[in-house]
Amino acid sequence: MSALVALLTGGLVGIGLWLAVGAVAGWQLLPTRNQLAVKVDQAQQTLTRFGLAVLIAVVVLMVTGWPVAAVFAAGGTVLAPRLFGGSRARQAAIDKTEAIASWAESVRDTMAAAAGLEEALTATAVAPPAAIAPEVRRLAERLRHQRLTDALVSFGEELDHPSSDLVVAALTIAARMEAADLGGLLSRLAVSIRDDATMRVKVEVGRQRLRTSAKIILGSVAATVVMLMVLNRTYLDAYDSLLGQAMLGVVGGVFAGGSWLMARMSDIDLPERFVPRTTSDVGQGASR
C-alpha cells in the first residue's frame, strides 16, 4: 500500500513539474478548441473506417474462404479514402490559403482608406472570405473586449495555418509599433500566399490523373475477380491451397505497396507554422 501511495505521489509531482516547466517555457500544453474538434472528428472517422473494414473482411472471408483476401480487403478499406478520396479536404485547404490572401488584401485596402488597424480588422468582418468567415467574425468580436495583440494571437491559433501566421505576425508587429509600410508588406504576403495556392492547384491537377489511372487499374482487377467468382469459380480453385494463398499474398502485397507509395507521394506537407512571439517574449527581448 505504501509503495502504491509513493508511486501516485511521484506521478503527481512529475505532472506538476511538467506543467510548471511548460508554463514557464510557454509550451502549448493543451490543444485549442479548433485542434480538439479536428482530433475528435478524426477519431470518429477512424472508428467508422475500422468497423467497416472488419465487416468487409468478414464478408470476403465468408464468400471466398481466403484469409489473405480478407486481410487485404480490410487494408484496402482503410487505405482507399486516403488513396482515392480526400479531394474535398485538399480543395478546402487550397480555398483556405486563397482566403487568407484575400483577407490580407482586404485589410490593406481598408487601411488605405484612412482607417486604423483595429477599425480595418473590424470592417473586414462585414464580408469576409467564405473559407475563414467564422474566424474573422470571432476576431471582430474579440476586439471589443480584448487587446488587439491578444485577439490576433487567438485568431492565428484558430486558423492554424502557416500562411495566416505570417499575416498575423505582420499585424501584431504593426500593433505594437508603427510599421513603416504595412500595406506593402501585406501586398507581398498576399502575392506569396496566392502563389502557394496556385502551386497546390497545379500539383493537384497532375496527381489527379495518376489517381484516375489507379482507380481504373484496381477497378478492372476487382471486376475480373468478381466475374470469375460468379462465372467460373473453378478457375480460382488454385488459390484455395496454402501455396495459392501465399501467391495471393505476394500479388496483394505488390498492389498494397504500390498503393501505399502512391498515397504517400500524393501528400503535401504544410511547412512548420510560424507562430508570432507573445508580448512577454517581445518585452524580454527588448530588455536585453
Q: Give tens-digit pLDDT for 133-192.
A: 988 999 888 888 888 888 888 888 888 888 888 888 888 888 877 666 778 888 888 898
Same domain, 55 and 127: no
Evaluate whether residue 165 is within a structural domain.
Answer: yes
* Digit-coded pLDDT (tens) for 222-258: 888 888 888 888 888 888 888 888 988 898 888 888 7
Same domain, 78 and 141: no
Evaluate whether residue 23 is within a structural domain.
Answer: no
> Distance between CA atoms of 39 and 36, rounded to whole angstroms?
5
> Among the three residues 145, 179, 198, which one is the final residue of a domain in this structure?
198
- Which structural domain range is residue 162 located in? 92-198
Find all residues with CB under 8 Å of 118, minimum gap 6, and list them: 143, 148, 175
Same domain, 193 and 177: yes
Band the pLDDT of 199: cuts 50, 70, 90: confident
Evaluate whether residue 220 is within a structural domain.
Answer: no
> Among the three residues 172, 198, 224, which one is the final residue of a domain in this structure?
198
Same domain, 185 and 116: yes
Evaluate whether residue 273 is within a structural domain.
Answer: no
* pTM, to two decimals: 0.62
Evaluate whether residue 11 is within a structural domain.
Answer: no
Highest mean pLDDT among 31-45, 127-141, 210-224: 127-141
Percent of the chain with pLDDT over 70: 72
Closest CA to 149 of 139, 161, 163, 160: 139
The predicted pLDDT at position 283 comes to: 39
* Digit-coded pLDDT (tens) for 53-92: 888 888 888 888 888 888 888 887 777 766 666 677 778 8
The predicted pLDDT at position 112 comes to: 80
Same domain, 71 and 108: no
Same domain, 62 and 137: no
Evaluate whether residue 6 is within a structural domain.
Answer: no
> Distance between CA atoms of 30 and 253, rounded to whole angstroms?
40
The predicted pLDDT at position 281 comes to: 43
Evaluate whether residue 22 is within a structural domain.
Answer: no
Residue 186 and residue 108 in contact, taking contact as beta carbons nearer than 8 Å: yes
> Distance between CA atoms of 260 and 253, rounded to whole angstroms?
10
Grid cell digits, residue 265: 507521394
Residue 107 pLDDT > 80: yes
Band the pLDDT of 11: cuts 50, 70, 90: low
Number of domains in the chain: 2
Evaluate whether residue 209 is within a structural domain.
Answer: no
The predicted pLDDT at position 282 comes to: 38
Same domain, 125 and 53: no
Residue 106 and residue 171 in contact, taking contact as beta carbons nearer than 8 Å: no
The predicted pLDDT at position 71 comes to: 86
- Provide the 10 A C-beta neighbour count for residue 267: 10
Same domain, 75 and 104: no
CA 160 to each of CA 29, 36, 94, 117, 164: distance values in angstroms, whole numbers, following the listed order: 16, 12, 14, 22, 7
Residue 115 pLDDT > 60: yes
Grid cell digits, residue 50: 475500422
The predicted pLDDT at position 276 comes to: 47
